[in-house]
Amino acid sequence: MTSAPFKRAAVIGWPIAHSLSPVIHNHWMRVYGIEGEYEKIAVEPETLAAAIGNMKARGFSGFNITVPHKEAIIPYLDKLAPLARLMGAVNTVKFEEDGTTTGFNTDGIGLLANLEKSLPSWPKDRPALVMGAGGAARAAALGLLNENLPFLVITNRTREKAEAIARDIGRGRMVVVDWAERHDVAKTAGLIVNTTTLGMHGNPPLELDLSISARDTVVYDIVYQPLVTPLLDHAQACGLRTVTGLGMLVYQAAAAFKVWFDIMPEYDDELRDRLEAVFK
């Protein structure tokens, strides 16, 4: 009897040492009986094209993309799934049987799934504030625009990038404010989402005054290294509800796993324990 072919997948980024994706995907490969390996590969921006060619030559099923490649990778792909095209960013690539590449974006799926499973009662009767203007910000904005919020406010240290998102996907329901105005918006927002790298290990914290935010406000940080960022620590000290970025990582990974292997994996207790052990 012929054995099943060895499956390969990976996550690429620069830097990449912090990624927990191999823990997640290698767990699912074992649980679902897929003989293979998921690895993390450090890819400098100027070597992006070469890295794609190398993975194709090695027979990879696909790969995930993290900062700073989510938008830069698009010119190197053959096709984009509709959601990735709308977002203008890719976090998952599949090598098709004919050798072509298709880009997907599962970040929005992961972000909303994490929020709904963690705090299904988050307030939708007030605007949401999204901080950042990269691929994750686009994913957050697009997902939240489907939640019937009054409107969405987006801010970024470079205002022009936030304006580009509002222009591309805002549907007239997004307001762009200067970075310095984020404190004022936080006073009335029902949901606050950080999609920047501020607060990640090695980066300065994201400073945001939450002292007079409404008590039912939810603060969501997609950064998961550290698990409790300075922003979330401040929010908890102010009595606000918080959501960490770990669940988003798992749920966007599950959607990517489905793209490559046609299996929708579960966030089981063993995986939860393994991930939480990393932060103890």
Question: Is the same domain home to 234 and 149?
Answer: yes
Question: Is the same domain home to 190 and 233?
Answer: yes
Rounded CA separation 174/118 (Å):
25
**Which pLDDT score is estimated for 88?**
86
- Is the distance from CB of 125 to CB of 188 less than 8 angstroms? no
Please report, for the domain that includes residue 157, its CATH number: 3.40.50.720
Please report, for the domain that includes residue 251, its CATH number: 3.40.50.10860
Residue 259 is assigned to a structural domain of this protein: yes
Domains: count for the chain: 2
Residue 144 CB-density burial (10 A; 0-12 exposed, 13-18 middle, 19+ buried): buried
At residue 74, the 3 state secondary structure works out as: helix
| Whether residue 70 lies in the annotated active site | yes
Pull the structure tokens for residue 144.
């939240």
- Is the distance from CB of 90 to CB of 35 less than 8 angstroms? no
Residue 207 is assigned to a structural domain of this protein: yes
- Is the distance from CB of 133 to CB of 161 less than 8 angstroms? yes
Question: Is the same domain home to 56 and 129?
Answer: no
Tell me the torsion sign for CA atoms 107, 112, 117, 122: positive
Question: Is the same domain home to 17 and 144?
Answer: no
**Which pLDDT score is estimated for 280?**
74
Q: Give the chain's radius of gyration (CA, Å).
A: 19
Rounded CA separation 39/169 (Å):
33
Question: Is the same domain home to 139 and 112?
Answer: yes
How many helices (H) and strands (E) the chain has is answered by: 10, 12
Question: Is the same domain home to 92 and 112?
Answer: no
Question: Is the same domain home to 190 and 215?
Answer: yes
Report how far apart, in Å, the C-alpha atoms of 79 and of each of 100, 255, 261, 269 are.
8, 18, 19, 36
- Residues of the chain falling short of pLDDT 70: 1-3
pLDDT digit string (tens) for 27-53?
A: 999 999 999 999 999 999 999 999 999
Rounded CA separation 59/95 (Å):
8
Question: Is the same domain home to 224 and 253?
Answer: no
**Which pLDDT score is estimated for 2?**
52
- Per the residue annotation, which of 40, 70, 117, 161 is the catalytic one? 70
**Which pLDDT score is estimated for 164?**
95
Question: Is the same domain home to 165 and 273?
Answer: no
Residue 1 is assigned to a structural domain of this protein: no
Rounded CA separation 55/68 (Å):
18
Q: List phi, psi (to 5°) of 253.
A: -65, -40
Residue 40 is assigned to a structural domain of this protein: yes
**Which pLDDT score is estimated for 4?**
77
Question: Is the same domain home to 138 and 77?
Answer: no
Question: Is the same domain home to 217 and 135?
Answer: yes
Pull the structure tokens for residue 177.
């404010």
Question: Is the same domain home to 114 and 47?
Answer: no
Range of the domain at 31: 7-105+247-278
